Amino acid sequence: MTIPRAQIGTVMGLLEVLHDFKGKVDLAKISEELRLELDDILPAVEAAKLLKLIQVSSGDLILTNEGTALLSKNISGRKKELNKMVSNLGEIKGIIDFIKKEHGNEVAKEDLLSFIRQEMPDVDAEQTFSWIVDWGRYSLLLRYDSNNQKIKLAKSPTTKST
Amino acid sequence: MTEQFEPSKLVELHNVTKAYGPLTQRPQVVLEHINLTIRQHEFVSIVGPSGCGKSTMLRVMTGLTKPEDGEVYYHGKKIEQVCEAMSMVFQTFALFPWLNVQENVEIGLEGKPFSKEEKKKRVLDMVRVIGLEGYEEAYPRELSGGMKQRVGIARALVSEPEILLMDEPFSALDPLTSTHLREEVLHLWENPDLPPEAVVMVTHNVEEAVYMSDRIIVLTARPGTIAKEVKIDLPRPRDPRSPEIYKIVDDITGLIA
């Protein structure tokens, strides 16, 4: 599974909490501090791990250099970094290739759903589509217009990082 | 002549009392004898037990509701109607579900004397600053709570208000998202290119108030009166788990509970 399945805000929030704890803290401690059930934190942990922003080692969450670097950037810089990170994830790559090759940089939601069902039979396709759209939008990788239900590749980000 | 520099006064509440219901009968007094000044370059929070009139205070400040007694001044002039130089961020985002992100933000420019192109430019600039680039054509139903509140903030800031009022802006968000958005709001606040000269935030979360503010107004239970003003001189970025912060949070919580 190489599609982040957590809201971006929760992943960034997790990195910020880790940063407050000098880059390393027990998962149970975070749960206690934020009065959050483990189940409510784990999606953010999994997504952050997938993006190599944190490492998990015997119950401890450890901020990686990539995670620290991401935090040090402003909003446009973060989007630019995430653009690279997200587009390097295996399943996202497959989806980008699908949109590129088959459909001239734009594809109907239905077609992408069929692709997801075929390539990832074990996941909820609609839910997966939503995660792809959300991370794709934030990282300026994909655009989605729910009026015409078309998803397309965004132009590469022009924003400056700091 | 030596004169100590004092940041200019933006808003002043003079002996404000706000009550609901007819004064001749038994009115519900919500705020009583409030004296408060909001100065330039200040991030002020208002905390207090629920029902103490925190949100009413914001409404009185903008002129959305009139006090039964006392006056509100903006730059020394009495406020008689809704003050255009202040805009508000709401707890529940208050977005129009049938408008997309760009259109929701543009609502903040309604009635402003800009051309269509100028409005679009300002909206897109603010969308970018606030981290919503990429979401322009998204509808509220497609957004997480954190993204919805970014739209609320962008809409409030797009008119370049002198004062930004926020009513429990993070309370509807999960703890991780609110941690993140608080950080982003502080980044915006520290950016000298962005308009607000002052922020006034209402919150029931004392830790949040201490972490973010320069000054905290602590209200008593209804009728709300000012129990104490606490100045927080700690440099930013602050460590939310430092003993200094703990101590202030403790003191203020003691006043409220």
B142 and B209 in a single domain? The answer is: no
The structure tokens 């992100």 sit at: B101
Residue B110 belongs to some domain of the structure: yes
Residues in chain B closer than 8 A to A34 (CB atoms):
175-176, 179
Residues in chain B closer than 8 A to A13 (CB atoms):
175-180
Tell me the ipTM for this assembly: 0.93
B184 and B102 in a single domain? The answer is: yes
Residues in chain A closer than 8 A to B240 (CB atoms):
20
CATH code of the domain in which B149 resides? 3.40.50.300
**pLDDT, tens digit (0-9, with 9 covering 90-100), for B5-22:** 778 999 999 999 999 876
Domains A8-71 and A75-153 share a fold: yes
* CB neighbourhood size of B99 (10 A): 15
B29 and B75 in a single domain? The answer is: yes
Residue B1 belongs to some domain of the structure: no
**pLDDT, tens digit (0-9, with 9 covering 90-100), for B137-167:** 999 999 999 999 999 999 999 999 999 999 9
How many residues comprise chain A? Answer: 162
Residues in chain A closer than 8 A to B239 (CB atoms):
20
Tell me if the domain spanning A8-71 has CATH number 3.40.50.620: no
Cα diameter, chain A? 49
Please tell me the predicted confidence (pLDDT) of residue A161.
40
Q: Write out the residue range of the structural domain in which residue B78 sits.
A: 6-85+198-257
Please tell me the predicted confidence (pLDDT) of residue A162.
39
Number of independent structural domains in chain B: 2
For testing contact with chain B, the best of A45, A71, A82, A137 (most B CBs within 10 A): A137
**Does residue B25 carry a pLDDT above 90?**
no
SS3 content of chain B, % helix, strand, coil (to 5): 35, 25, 40
Please tell me the predicted confidence (pLDDT) of residue A159.
44
B30 and B17 in a single domain? The answer is: yes
How far from each other are the two terminal CA atoms of chain A, in whole angstroms? 31
Residue B129 belongs to some domain of the structure: yes
Q: Which residues pair with B88 in a beta bridge?
A: B165
Residue B49 belongs to some domain of the structure: yes
The fold of the A75-153 domain, in CATH, is Arc Repressor Mutant, subunit A (1.10.10)
Report how far residue B124's alpha carbon sits from residue B247's, in angstroms, rounded to the nearest whole number: 42
**pLDDT, tens digit (0-9, with 9 covering 90-100), for B55-114:** 999 999 999 999 999 999 999 999 999 999 999 999 999 999 999 999 999 999 999 999
Please tell me the predicted confidence (pLDDT) of residue A160.
42
How far from each other are the two terminal CA atoms of chain B, in whole angstroms? 47
Q: Which residue of B has its CA nearest to A30?
A: B176
Confidence band of A155 (pLDDT split at 50, 70, 90): confident
Give exposure, B2-28, as e/b (b: 16+ Cβ within 10 Å): eeeeeeeebbbbbebbbbeeeeeeeee
For testing contact with chain B, the best of A5, A15, A20, A53 (most B CBs within 10 A): A20
Residue B108 belongs to some domain of the structure: yes
Domain ranges in chain A? 8-71, 75-153
Q: A34 vs B179: CB contact, 8 Å cut-off?
A: yes
